[in-house]
Amino acid sequence: MRTRPLTARGAACLVLGGLLCVAANVLAARPLLYIGVLLLLLPLISLLVVRAPRRRGEVWRQISTDLLAVGETSKVTVRFELYAPGVPRGRWRDTLPDAVRGDAVGEYPGETRLLHYDLEGVRRGTATLGPLLLRTVDPFGLAQRVQAFGETRMITVVPQVFALSPLPTRVGAAGGAAQTRSTRIGQGADNLIPRAYLSGDSRRRIHWRATAHRGSLMVRQEEEEASPDAVVVLDRAASRWARPGDTPDPAFEAAVSLCASAALRFVQDGYSVDVFDSSGALLGALRGHEDDRDGLMVALATVIPRGEPRDLRAIVGGTPPGPLVVITGAIQADDAVRLSTAGAAAPMLIAAGASRDALAVAAEHGWNVARLDTAADPAEVWESAIPQAKAPRG
């Protein structure tokens, strides 16, 4: 970061000193010359005082949450060790990316070497905090120096999660807690011991929290579980959404948040959940482990519209799930005709920007439909898409 070596006061002092020296020669006034030379020397001496000392520093950052959600506030603690002759006075500022915001500035030095500020998630994605900038000035405020210290810290901003209503009991009778079964090595999910990642290990078994703490990929022990009985599909086909630009698409952001919220709702109700995108790529598999949730949220943090959709029957596979939630964008009636419920017990289609004809056609083909409006409460949209308790479709 390039800054001017002199402050506004220092530049004014330099200009005034030059003018006085010229006036002293014109008017033959020696006192003006003395004052002019003094004003010229002061900024130069101030520059020497500020820039001559050699400084180095180390920075450690600690964030209160491993993953920061959009709209969530986290506390950041920065330990700043500055090695320099004397204790310079100035102001510190931590460099923040566009994905977050916070009042990351303060006076230096403080009472301790610990600097604190609050950080709020603004836009999902991955970004870096830092470096830490220290701006110091001389006692007269004529010269300044801005230095960067420490490494940057990666931060992941995940989608916002909303509290959604559960499905009626009879709707989820084909899945849920009644059919969740698991056989694990060890004494249960709470006692699973992570181990180092080996070539060939499945991404679905990455232990995200252990990875974050140890700094290297860690995976859970071998486990054997039943097939998932709830499926959530995020349709991110490029044709469904606005073209990516500098500002995020509000409709797509709402769809990603609803995708995460629906998956976590099913987990709370006892379902095993698979989350796919429209191309059939697995975004997350939730089997009741906390690191499963973290893995899904990390995957959803960077997802963007791209590709073309596949047939839902190819994504779901040969075994019809219990609940099936498809979250899509701008679809037309022709698109709705091709959307198969894949024999799901509770098919729910939530669309942002869909035409009325498309929703009507989807309803005729067995979908429980709702329109995802960015101005509407996601919980109310979800409520309107929940099917009534009835027998599963064949």
Distance of CA 355 to the CA centre of its chain: 31
- The pLDDT of residue 313 is 87
Please give the pLDDT value at position 361.
94
Percent of the chain that is helix, strand, coil (3-state, to 5): 30, 25, 40
- Predicted pLDDT at 227: 45
Residues of the chain with pLDDT > 90, as a percent, come to 58
Is residue 127 scored above 60 in pLDDT?
yes
| Position 207 confidence tier, pLDDT thresholds 50, 70, 90 | confident
Condensed to tens digits (0 to 9), the pLDDT of residues 16-55 reads: 999 999 999 999 899 999 999 999 999 999 999 999 999 9
- The confidence score (pLDDT) of residue 180 equals 41
Residue 22: what pLDDT? 94
Distance CA 109, CA 172 (A): 59
Higher pLDDT, 359 or 193: 359
The CA distance from 370 to 349, in Å, is 7
User: Which pLDDT value is given to residue 300?
Assistant: 96
One-letter amino acid at 298 equals V
> pLDDT tens-digit profile of 297-327?
999 999 999 888 888 888 887 777 789 999 9
Tokens of 9: 């006061």
Look-up: residue for tokens 């959940």?
273
CA 215 to chain CA mean position, Å:
19
Residue 177: predicted pLDDT = 43
Q: pLDDT digit string (tens) for 216-273?
A: 787 776 544 444 589 999 999 988 998 766 678 999 999 999 999 999 999 998 899 9
- What proportion of the chain, given as a percentage, has pLDDT over 70? 86
pLDDT-derived band of residue 101, with 50, 70 and 90 as boundaries? very high
Provide the 3-class DSSP secondary structure of residue 213.
helix
Question: What is the radius of gyration, based on Cα positions, of the chain?
Answer: 30
Q: How many CB atoms lie within 10 A of CB 64?
A: 12
The pair phi, psi for residue 182, each rounded to 5°, is: -155, 140
- In angstroms, the CA 83 to CA 165 distance is 55
Structure tokens, 332: 């037309």
Helix (H) or strand (E) run with residue 300 in it: helix 290-301
Note the helical H segments in 52-98. Answer: none
CB under 8 Å to 50, separation ≥6 — which residues?
136, 137, 138, 143, 144, 145
- pLDDT reported for residue 190: 43
